[in-house]
A and B are shown apart, each in its own frame.
Chain A
Amino acid sequence: MLLYLVPFAAVAIFLVAVVARLVRIYSLPVHLRWELYPVAHEQNAAYGGSFFEHVDWWQQPRAKRHVGELKVMVPEILFLVGVREHNRPLWARTFPFHFGLYLSAGLIALLLLGGVLQAAGVTVAGSAGFPGAAVHWLTVVFAYAGTGLCLIGALALLLRRLSDPVLRTHSAPADLWNLVAFVATGGLALLAFLVCDRDLALLRGFTQRVVTFRLGGEVPTLLAIAIVAASAMVAYVPTTHMAHFFTKWFMYHDVRWNDEVNTVGSKLEKKIQAQLAYKVDWAAPHIQGGGTKTWVDVATEEVAKR
C-alpha cells in the first residue's frame, strides 16, 4: 500500500517544485533588455541581424517569426545541438543521457496510457490488436532504450566528471551525487525490467492500479525498489539546477531573445514606470538610497553636488 503512495508523493513534490520555480520566475520584475544575437524570431536570424538594421526601425512593422524560435528550440532540446556544436566530447555523453531521460518520460506517459486503456477494458499486450499492441511495443522500446541510454550517459558523465581535474574542481558534492543517483536509478530500473518484468506488464498493472486508485496488489521487490528510486528522482530533479529542463525556456525566451521594445503608452512602459518608483537602498556614496529614494530620484539628482 505504502508503495502506491510513493508515485503520488513524487508527482506532488515535482509539481510543487515546478510551480514554485515558475511563481518565483514570473514574480520577478521586468528586467532591462539583455538580448543576445542571433535572436531566433528575427527575420535575419540566419546571420544574427536585428530590427535595428533598418532605417527608422521604430516606424517599420515588426514581424516576429515565432516559428524561428521553434526551429531553434526543438532541436536544441531534443538533440542538444548547442552542445554538439561547442563541446563534442560532452555531447557524446550528455546526449544519450538526456535522450534516455526523454524516453523515460515517454515511458511514464505510455504506462499511464496503457493503464488507462486496460482500466477501460482494452487489452494491452504484444499479441493484442491496435491500439493495445502499439502501446505495448512502444512501452517496451521506450523502457529499455530510455533506461539504457540514461544509464550509459550518466555513467559516462560521472566518469568524466571524476577523471577531469577541472570538472572535479568545479563540482559540488551534489553534482557527483546527482549522477550517481541517475546511474543507480537507471541501473535498478533496467535490472528490474530484465529480472522480473520483461514485457512491462507488471509495471503497467501497477500504473493501472495507481490511476484507478485501487491501491493494492503485490509488486516484486526489485521492481518496487526501482519504482521508489525513479519516483525519488522525479521529485528531486526540479529542486536542483537540473530544473533547467524547463527553466531553459525562460532563459532563452525571456532573456536571450527578449527584445520587446518599450513604446510610449504600452503595458511594458507602465510596468517600467512602476519599477522606477521602487525604493533603492544601495549604500555607496554616489547613491545613498537609504530606502527612501526611488529610482527616479536617484537618476535625476544632481551628481555635481556630491
Chain B
Amino acid sequence: MSQPIPFSDVGRPSAQLGHLDDRDLVPLPRPYDTWAEKPLPPLSAKARETYECSLDDTCAVSFPRPKSKSEEDELVRKFLSGLAKLFTSNNNWTFLQPLVLSMDHCAKCQTCAEACHIYEESGRNELYRPTFRSEVLRRLYFKHRSGGSLLSAWHHGDIDIDWTTVARLLELAYRCNLCRRCAQTCPVGVDNGLIAHEIRKLFSAELGIAAKEIHEKGSMLQLKVGSSTGMNAIVVKDNIEFIDEDMTEKTGVKVQTHWDVEGADVLLMHNAGEILAWPENPGAFAVILEAAGISWTLSSDLAAYDAINYGLWYDDAQFARVALLHAQAAKKLGVKKIVIGECGHAHKAMMVIADRVLTGDLNIPRESAMVLLDDLVASGRLKLDPSRNDFPVTLHDPCNLVRLMGVVEPQRRVVRKIAPQFREMEPHGVHNYCCGGGSGFAIMSGHNFAEWRLRAASRKKFRQILEAFRDDVDPTHPKYVCAPCSNCKGAIRDLLAHYEAGPKAGIYYGGLVELIVNAMVDVKPGFLSFGEP
C-alpha cells in the first residue's frame, strides 16, 4: 500500500509522482499463486525526456514536453481557459449538471475507493484512488474560480496551478476505465468516472490533447476514412466477402452478408475491429441472422460500417459527429431499427448518449443485439444443441452494456440455454468489474501502457475468471470466457496471452454469437476450436 500523496506534491516537479510496485499487486489464486509477475518494463529514458511522463511508471498520452517556461505558461493558460469553459452551458450543456453536482458535494469519505478495481489490484495505490484525480480538478477549479483566495483554499484545499500539475492531471484522466463502479457506491451520488471523462474532454476540446489511439487514429480516422481500422468502404466490403466465404466453408451453411439494403428491418452495426481481429464474430452474426430469416443489412456509408464512437470517452463534438453519421446512414436506408453488434461502448454511445443528440427523423429506434439474439434463441427460430457447448462457460459483463445500460438478462438467458456448464463470475451483472480495457485502454498501447493495463486495470478481471473456473484448472479441459464486447475481448485476449492462460489453464475467450453458432445443429460441429490458431 502506497503512502497518501499530499496535494502539495502534485505541482512539485519530480521524476514521477507515484509508483506501481509489482510487489504491491494482489496475489492471484490457483494456478497463478506461484506465478512470478515480470516487472513492469520501465519507460525509456528517451520517452521520459521527450514526453510528459512524470505521473507514474507509464505514459498514456505522450504529450511532448514544453520546451520553455513560456510554452508551459501558455499551456496552463489554455488549460484554465478550458476549465472555465467546462463549466459553461454553451460549451458543456451535455454534462454540466452532473459535473456541477459531483464537483460540489463530495464528502471525502473515500467509500468509493474500495469499489475501484485499479485502486484495489494495484495494492491500493494512492495515485489510482478514484477521488485523487477528482480532488486535483476540484482544487484547481475552485482556486482558479476564486482567483486563488485564501477562503477557497480553506474551503476546498489548495494546490499549485502550474504546468506540472496540469500535465499530471492529463495523465491521471487516463488511469480510469470510466467504468463508474465507484459511482455506484458513493452515498452522495458523486461520480468520479464522470470527472475523469470531463478532464479528458477539457484537454481534447480546448487544447486538442488526447490519447492518439482514440483521437487521431480513432475518431478522426473514422470521420475521415470511415473506420478507426483505416478500412474504407471498398476494403471493408472485400473483407466481409472473404469472411462470408470462409464462414460458408467452416460452417457448411451458405453465409451471405447484405449491403445497403433499403427498407431492411435491421441495420446491423459492428465494431469494425471485429472484422479484422475476430472475423468469426461478424461471420457468426451473418450465420444466425440468415438462419433466422431476418431482413438485415450493413451500411457502406462513411463511418456507418464501424459502430465505434470513441468520442464517448473524451470529446462530445467527436461523439456527436459520429453518432450523426450512424443515424444518417440508417435514415438513408429507411431501416426499421439499428441493431448494435457485440460492442459495449457502441451500445452506450448510440442507445443512451446519442438519445439526446439525435432529434426528428434521425431519432431512429436502436436495439441491442443481445435482445435480438435472446429473442431468436427463445423463440426457437434457431435449432440448437447445447451439448455442443458442454464445457465450462462464464460471462463477462461489459460495463457499458450492463452497469450503464441495464442490459443484464438477455445475454444470460442465451448462455443459460446453450451452455450447460455456465457459471457466473462474482460479482456480476451491474456490479461486475471492468475488463480493464474500458475507455480506450484496450486499444492504447504506447510505451509500456499495455503492460501497465495488464497489471493494474485488467488484473481484477483475470482474478474473476480464475475464480469462476476454480473447480477445473486442467489445461486440457477448455473453458470459455464469453465477452460480448469487442473492446473487452481485446483486453481479455491480452490478459489471457500474458498469463498463458490457454496452455496453462485451458482458458479461452470469444463472443456470444460464436457460442450460439457452435451450438447450431445445422452448422458443422467444432465451430469453436480451442487453442488452434
A residues adjacent to B (C-beta < 8 A): 24-25, 28-39, 42, 44, 47-58, 76, 80, 82-83, 85-87, 90, 94, 165-175, 177, 240-244, 247-248, 250-252, 254-256, 261-264, 268-269, 272-273, 275-276, 278-287, 289, 295, 298-300, 303-304
Contacts and interface: CB of A to CB of B under 8 A. Distances in A.
B368 A52 contact: yes
B100 A28 contact: yes
B519 interface: no
A284 B204 contact: yes
Interface stretch (B184-192, B438-446, B447-455): B184-192
B94 A32 contact: yes
A269 B106 CA distance: 32
A115 B131 CA distance: 46
A237 B198 CA distance: 28
Interface string B96-138: 1110111011111111001100000000001001010001000
Nearest to A239: B155
B359 A269 contact: yes
Contacts of B101: 25, 247, 250-251, 254-255
Contacts of B144: none
Contacts of A172: 153-157
Contacts of A33: 352-353, 355-356
Contacts of B317: 280, 282, 286-287, 298-299
Given A173-B157, A242-B107, 19 more contacts: A29-B96, A30-B93, A30-B97, A30-B356, A31-B93, A32-B355, A34-B98, A37-B404, A47-B429, A48-B402, A52-B405, A175-B108, A244-B189, A247-B105, A250-B101, A254-B97, A263-B363, A268-B356, A284-B204
A131 B137 CA distance: 54
For A282, A289, A299, the residue with the greatest tally of chain B CB atoms inside 10 Å of its CB is: A282
Contact of B430 (A38, A256, A262, A285): A38
Interface stretch (B31-39, B205-213, B285-293, B502-510): B205-213
For B353, B358, B408, the residue with the greatest tally of chain A CB atoms inside 10 Å of its CB is: B408
A294 to B, nearest CB: 9
Nearest to B360: A264
Contact of A32 (B95, B189, B208, B372): B95
A36 B359 contact: no
Contacts of A244: 105, 107, 188-189
B205 A284 contact: yes
A299 B105 contact: no
Contacts of B320: 295, 298-299
Q: What are the nearest 6 A-B pairs in CB distance?
A: A50-B406, A251-B189, A48-B430, A172-B157, A284-B208, A169-B4
Contacts of B431: 48
A39 B184 CA distance: 11
B409 A53 contact: yes
A166 B205 CA distance: 33
Given A165-B4, A171-B108, A241-B104, A83 B187 contact: yes
Contacts of B102: 251
Given A82-B185, A303-B321, A49 B97 contact: no
B430 A47 contact: yes
B313 to A, nearest CB: 14
A278 B91 CA distance: 8
A287 B317 CA distance: 7
B68 interface: no
Nearest to A85: B185
B357 interface: yes
A175 B78 CA distance: 31
Contacts of B208: 284-286
30 contacts: A28-B96, A30-B356, A31-B93, A37-B405, A50-B407, A53-B410, A54-B371, A55-B367, A55-B372, A90-B111, A94-B109, A170-B131, A172-B154, A173-B157, A174-B154, A174-B156, A241-B105, A241-B106, A248-B188, A251-B188, A255-B101, A262-B359, A272-B356, A275-B93, A282-B205, A286-B208, A287-B205, A287-B317, A295-B320, A299-B321
